[in-house]
Structure 1
Amino acid sequence: MTDISNDRRGTIDINIKTTELTEEDSVDQKHELFLHEIEAIEEYWGPTFRTIYDGDEHGKFMDKLDARIKNHDKDIERMCNHHYQGFIDSIRELLQVRSQANKLRAEVVRIDKDIQSSAGKLLAKSEDLVKARKVQVNIASAIDSLSLCLPVLTTYSKLQTQMQQKRYYPALKTLEQLEHAYLPRVACYRFAQQMRDNIPRVREDIKMASMSDIKDFLEAIRRDHFESYYRQQRKEQARLALQSPTNMHESLEGYRDYLHGVVGFFVIEDHILNTGNGLVNRAYLDEVWDMACGKNYGYTVSALHDLLLEIKDHYNEVLMQKWVQVFRETFDEDTYHPIRADTLEDYQRIIEVFPYEDAQLEQSPFPKYFPFSLMVPKVYRQVKDYIAACLDFSEDLNLSQTEKEDMVRKSTNLLLTRTLSGCLASHIKKPGLGLLQLIQITNNTFHLEHANVLLENYVARLTGSEDSRTLGSKGGMGQLQGKVIFKDIRGEAEEQIYTALRLKLDEILDLAAYDWMMAEPCGQSSSYITDLISFLKTTFDAFTNLQLRVAQTACMSACQHIARSLLDMLLNENVKQMSLAALEQLNLDVIQCEQFAASEPVEGFEEGALLMYFSDLRQLLDLFMSEDWSTYFHDYGKEKSKYLRVHPHQAIIIVEKLREGEKKGMFSILKRNDKKKLLETVLKQLKQLSQQQQNVS
């Protein structure tokens, strides 16, 4: 029984201890939970503290909390010790930034003061310039006004002098010239209106004075003396009537007025011959006519015939001046797109103006597209109109067939070589003319050149000569020079194409915005290169209608220009620092250009011919991408060198830019000291090579 009691007592003790341990673990877990809640929740701790103080273990919790605080303090101390050096470095860098910021602020203040000062001076100079420009405009306006008024005043003074000298007939001529030629130019001025109002009175004064002088004269002399005086005065007046005005050649109206004046003089004399009771006789009239002209309808006309031939030359000059405006309007109004014929009527309308023959075009369905623009049929028709106008003038000159044909050919050649050629040459040099328009103009010159034969046939048909195929056998007969002219114009247009292509390439290349200190390349070519390649493909597709030589030359010029421009970007002195990632991005762009060059954008090139234009840039980039400096220095100067086209001077510029980029701390690859030493070593050897090259040269 005793043994059993002892056993039971021992079991009870164990149970009590186990219960105590279990309760102690539960308290610790509870306290640990409270600590986690306090650490996890930043603001609302009320319920947690209330639970702690409701129990009897808040003393133990405080011990647990103190132990947890000590652990955190140790963690903080350990973390601070670990990051202490970095913190010190950051503080030092921050102090340096503050110093540099102060310097930058001072520099900004100084620059702002300089700008304010310069702007003030510029503003003052601008005001002076505005005032000077106003004075200049006023002076120019005054000069223009005086230039308009001076001929009027001079003519009016001449009129007054003639009236004082009793030269009434010249005074009437001067008055007419003043009224119709000069006063309309200055109609806006008050004195011109006063002069215009006085003209009827002046004309009446001349009439009255003339009548008075005639009456006095008739009373003072006998009849036979008057006849002699009248005939002598009319001879003088005939000479005045035959003198052509200085502005006669400016318009057809001037010729018409002149001829009317000459004819009118002799019509009056013929009327006096029949009604003047012997004041004018046949012998006197023959003498005056012989002085003026020659013989026709009873009078000699050799001198008049020579005069008409001279007028013909001036007439042709006036025509060519008129056709200058005609050609300019044609060139300005043309859209320079191939003519589209939607219906048979449209097609036949073009063929009737310009007889173009093409079997493939005739068989093609509607809409049909002619290879030329509206400029070709318009110019062809306008040249024909000019030929017809020249021939109309010579109809009554009694010229032989050969003389007519020779005259028409000479006039037409002048129109082609001087007027048409000059207008078209000026037009293709206009800055607003696009590349596709220049290509269409070049195509147009081919068809205008072929139209030379059609114009030859037209001249032969109008003049009644034999078929144009036998014209070459004529001795001394000139040929139309259309072929030569349009070949020359086409050459100028081709040069303009090359220039316009380079300008367009420059516009796209100007969009390049490289970040020369980029940390990583984009992984694909730049957007401006994509646009550049797309533009070139579209452009060279439009070159299919041109001669292969022109397309090839344009393609070679484009590749050469792009390669040079990219190399210039790389070596630009304004770029002071550079990263290797920027070189890699440029390399991606060059690869795209090389792929375009290798795709044979224009047929007829030998394999790799266009790639040669990128070889300088390719070898330079390959050298820096691979850092194969040992091969470069070992093979330098050898004909089979892998980097034969890499000049030491160019490599020096890029190495210096890379070194400056490394100093700015923006590199990810060149942070290591061995990379810095490599750059220094390469730069030193490149400078030695460059110096050796200069000594040899």
Structure 2
Amino acid sequence: MVPSLKKDWRTRKRIHPALIAAAEMADVSVDDLVQQVQALYSSDTTDADLQHLAPIIQLACSSSREADLVHELQAFADRKEQEIERLCNMNHADFVASVDQLLEVRQKTVQLREQIMTLNDDVQESGKMLGDKKKALIDTRSVTQNVTDAHTAITAALRPLHTLQSIHALIAEKKHYQALRSLDELQLIHLKDISQYSFAKLLESSMPATQKMIQDAVMGDLRQWLLGVREQSRLVGQLAFDETDRRRRSWHDRIMSDPVLNNAKLNTALELVLNEMNPFSAIDNDRVRIDFTPLHECIHIYSQLGLSEELRTSFEQDRRRQRDLLLPASLTVEGGDVAASLEVLLEDITGFAIIEQETLKQTRGTNLRSSHEINDLFASLTKRVMSLTLSALAKTSNPDTLLRVKNILVLFIQTVEGQGYDTKTLNAFILTLFEKYAGVLKEKFSIDFGQIVAEDDYMPMTINDVEEYEKVCSVSWYKTDTPAEHMRFPCALPFSQIFPLCCVDIRNFVNQYYLFSDEYTHSQNQVDDILKNSLDELLVQHVNKTLLQRLHTNNLGQVVQIIVNLEHFENACSELEQLLAETRSSHRTGAVKLKATNEFGVSRKNAEKRIFELVNSKIDDFLDIAEYDWAPSKPNPQPSSYLLELVRWLRTVMQSTMVNLPQNIRVFIYFDALDHLASELMKMLLSTSTRKYNEHGIANFDKDISYLEEFVEELNDPSISAADTFLELRQSVNLLRAENVEEYLNTTTRMKSYSRLKPQNAITMLEKQLANSSTISLSSLERNKSMSLKRVLENLRASERR
């Protein structure tokens, strides 16, 4: 502990050197301690130096010499007391005298002090009163000046403060322009009058905030106005639709009363002029009134603030956001009523578009809106509408839904067209929709026609009464010379039920087409062409193709009925062409020609050929059972049985199955059948399987030919009789039965009596006849004839070789 004390003592400047020396002693003796105490008190120490005893006491305690230290200190105190007593005894008298003098001086001093204090109190009291008065005067003057200054400042501040208060009141009352004018007055006039006051700077620093308050307030009113406009858009669109529909009906009535106006459509100059007497505004009427004052005020204030471009940008963004809010994700709604959902959407868009156009008119010259901007907005809306509509109708097969959608779109087009918007894209979309509508109608027709074909019995249609007859005639373009009241019922019409039922579907198809194109005045030529092509497709690819496929049957009655149906379809096409020419757009002239007309004609020819094939096939069946005996022992008493059956069948078929065929076709059938029969009989006569025939065989064949000739005569048809169908056969038989065969070598006789008989055929027949002569015993007459045959054959063969 000692070393640390040494270190602390060295650091203190006021520690007595003797103490430092004592502290440094390793082993302290009593004498040394006494010396240290004496050294301490022999020096000029003060009471404050008594603090230096502490180290000595601490040293004594640490060395266990406290008693020695106390003894030494007591001795030191006694010595000092003796010195004081000695000094007092030596100077007592002087001291007492001095004390008395001091007391007297003190007494006088006290008296003088009391007098001075009294005087001082008097002076202080007088000075205080005067000071108080002076202070009061100074304070009064200061207050007076302050009051004057305050009055001046308050008076100067009252007007700008009152103006500022009135500005806030005007903002609250939505008198934003007046507030802005007052703010300008405050800045330019009133603040200059109080520029020396510090609160003027506060007022001036608050001006931008007040200006921003006016700006925000007027923008808030504009946003509120835009919200109200958005909420009223649908009603505006509804009213615009109603007005367009009213104008459309009114114009239709006017056209009906004055056909001269037929070419003038809705929204044309003529219609607009004639409709001027009935002005209507979709935004200013009994049900809705849109006030553009908030917009004008906002434009004016932003213009005064130099923020016109900011307002234009903000307004454009707000309108685009409102546009986006109009458009749903899809038109698919509960219940699947696409048309109703589309109508609501188009009402919203129409209202939006009308308000945009009116905004453009109201703000012309302010650069707030431009035609380019609103046209872009409208174009984006219509593009989205078309996309939504196509998506919603992608799987639609109901023509009524497509028709309703088209009617709504046309009403929308006519409405916005009247507002000056470009509708070319929408009109093209209507044409696209029309093509889809045509496809749906064709699909529906195909299904219905398939059912009609499946249910058709290919029998003449039975009519039970006049009402049914007139109904069938009205829908199927069927005409007859016999009036309905003169007809007897039930009766049978030539065609089967496939024809009138198909005609009904065709009429409905055409009516639905024109129902779609009603009020659609754009691309009318394309609509007419689409209708014509669609009809051709239906009639050719469905009706005609189906009937052609049915021709493969071997049922002659069915083929005959198909021919009758084809003929009536061909006639109906002609009527349909006339109908299309009458109902198509009035500015187009010239005849309408359906490809189906020619196709039905071609198919009818094919059907006729099919009848020829079937009749000829039946004739071949009869001929297959003919089994001619060319060398019988005696002649037959009547024509061949197969021929009797054949003629009976042919007569029956022509009088029953083919009775509804046109006369010219029946004649052709007769002609072709008889020609085929004649050709086959000629083949039989010339057949290589027949080696010879005798007189009886030739006589029997002659009887058959005569029977056929009589049958032709009984037909009493000059065209068949004049055809000389069996002339070659007749000339062949005549040659074989001629008494003088050599007459054939005479050119004149040949040209007159055997003009149709070919020399080669004559050679073949004469050879067969000659072959019979060589196998029997001949009479002289028969021998002469045989010789004649040989000579004729030699001449004919020689002629053939040449």
Name the TM-score, length of structure 2 as normaliser: 0.43
Under a length normalisation based on structure 1, what TM-score does the superposition of the two structures give?
0.48
